[in-house]
């Protein structure tokens, strides 16, 4: 397997503000110099900084903060400096830097793996830069990752991935991502919240192309490469009162995969227990691991009236590399790739 994109030891992890950030943020702070990517101080110090930054002032929309960040001369200077570091690190030209600086960098293009690594590192840098900007301007933001996503998408040279079937060039089995936003940025799973990503095939049939099994529904995973996946919506999705899941959108797309024999990318959202490091457990998944392509082989309904759900049996396509670490409830914090 390729070398790690990023490895996080105990005390390092996501920079998020979906919940109170003093509970979930765990990324080391950047320096006060022009190089935001250099970490300093303890994770506890950084959590205090983020929590403080996100409790001052009035609530600001991610779009407004992103626009302000992109107008900040210090941020743009630091970004150019960081993009040059990425060029040297991966020995390729940065599309973002090329457009920003309006200069040519030669004809060498990044291979697919390098592009994935550069996108992940760029995103994490912008997360740290966003925290610093929010602090300095006494702003309040609900989600650091969503704000950073707005920033990166407004950069010249950014290209949005179209949905497609099969493996994503540059993403390998066992790659581990900190944020769901990163799954979308690299093209692995486009929906930020929904568990089923869809597209239409050549015959305009709606098919599923990716799913995230992160524990929000009662999914079952076996060591033999079989996954029993629960459809989306209905009472399990927090609907008030009784409501059966409906055969539409992602649920319909998964069922259509049986007839069209469309492979589905499977990403597991895994939790880390307190014993696996000093980080407090975040609500929901704390890492997302790509497990390869699966085939949907069966679909049925079960449950009581008013809470019926769709169930899907998926089987892992043979011949793919196995995850370097695997369990039903948790993953080891000592191995794997962090994007």
Q: Mention every residue, 6+ apart, whose C-beta is less than 8 A from residue 172.
A: 1, 2, 113, 290, 321, 337
Confidence of residue 20 (pLDDT cuts 50, 70, 90): very low
Q: Is residue 185, in this structure, part of any structural domain at all? A: yes
Asked whether the predicted pLDDT for residue 244 surpasses 80, the reply is: yes
> Quick one: 93 and 39 in the same domain?
yes
Q: Is residue 159, in this structure, part of any structural domain at all? A: no
- Range in 26-40, 82-96, 140-154, 275-289 with the lowest mean pLDDT: 26-40
> Quick one: 182 and 274 in the same domain?
yes
Does residue 155 or residue 317 have the better pLDDT?
A: 317
What is the per-residue pLDDT across 288-310, written as a single tens digit (0 to 9) for each? 999 999 999 999 999 888 888 99
Q: Is residue 10, in this structure, part of any structural domain at all? A: no
Strand, coil or helix: 89: helix
> Quick one: 44 and 137 in the same domain?
yes
> Quick one: 314 and 284 in the same domain?
yes
In this prediction, residue 172 carries a pLDDT of 94
Q: Mention every residue, 6+ apart, whose C-beta is less than 8 A from residue 64.
A: none
In this prediction, residue 167 carries a pLDDT of 94
Domains in the chain, number: 2
Q: Is residue 162, in this structure, part of any structural domain at all? A: no
Q: Is residue 263, in this structure, part of any structural domain at all? A: yes
Q: Is residue 117, in this structure, part of any structural domain at all? A: yes
- Whole-prediction pTM value? 0.73
- Range in 32-36, 81-85, 175-179, 195-199 with the lowest mean pLDDT: 32-36
> Quick one: 223 and 95 in the same domain?
no
Asked whether the predicted pLDDT for residue 24 surpasses 60, the reply is: no
- Mean pLDDT computed over every residue of the chain: 74
| Domain that includes residue 49, residue range | 21-154
> Quick one: 186 and 328 in the same domain?
yes
| Angstrom distance (rounded) from CA 254 to CA 210 | 9
Q: CATH no. for residue 283?
A: 2.30.280.10
> Quick one: 205 and 313 in the same domain?
yes
Q: Is residue 2, in this structure, part of any structural domain at all? A: no
In this prediction, residue 110 carries a pLDDT of 59
Confidence of residue 242 (pLDDT cuts 50, 70, 90): confident
Does residue 225 or residue 332 have the better pLDDT?
A: 225
């Amino acid at each position: 397997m390729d070398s790690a994109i990023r490895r996080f030891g105990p005390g390092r992890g996501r920079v998020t503000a979906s919940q109170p950030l003093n509970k979930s943020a765990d990324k080391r702070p950047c320096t006060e110099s022009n190089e935001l990517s250099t970490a300093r101080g303890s994770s506890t110090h950084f959590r205090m900084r983020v929590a403080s930054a996100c409790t001052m002032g009035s609530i600001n929309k991610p779009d407004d903060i992103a626009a302000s960040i992109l107008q900040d001369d210090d941020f743009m200077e630091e970004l150019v400096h960081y993009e040059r570091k990425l060029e040297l690190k991966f020995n390729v030209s940065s599309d973002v830097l090329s457009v920003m600086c309006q200069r040519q960098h030669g004809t060498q293009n990044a291979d697919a793996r390098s592009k994935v690594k550069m996108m992940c590192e760029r995103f994490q840098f912008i997360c740290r830069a966003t925290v610093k900007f929010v602090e300095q301007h006494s702003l309040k933001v609900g989600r650091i990752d969503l704000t950073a996503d707005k920033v990166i998408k407004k950069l010249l040279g950014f290209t949005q991935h179209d949905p497609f079937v099969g493996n994503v060039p540059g993403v390998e089995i066992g790659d581990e991502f900190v944020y769901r936003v990163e799954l979308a940025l690299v093209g692995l799973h486009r929906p930020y919240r929904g568990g089923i990503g869809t597209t239409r095939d050549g015959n305009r049939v709606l098919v599923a192309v990716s799913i995230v099994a992160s524990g929000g529904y009662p999914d079952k995973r076996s060591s033999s490469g079989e996954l029993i996946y629960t459809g989306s919506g209905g009472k399990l999705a927090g609907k008030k009162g009784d409501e059966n899941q409906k055969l539409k959108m992602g649920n319909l797309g998964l069922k259509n995969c049986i007839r069209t024999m469309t492979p589905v990318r499977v990403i597991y959202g895994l939790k880390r227990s307190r014993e696996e490091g000093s980080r407090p457990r975040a609500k929901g998944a704390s890492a997302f691991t790509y497990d390869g392509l699966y085939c949907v082989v069966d679909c049925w309904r079960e449950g009581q009236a008013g809470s019926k759900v769709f169930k899907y049996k998926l089987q892992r396509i043979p011949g793919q590399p196995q995850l370097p670490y695997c369990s039903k409830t948790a993953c080891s914090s000592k191995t794997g790739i962090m994007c």
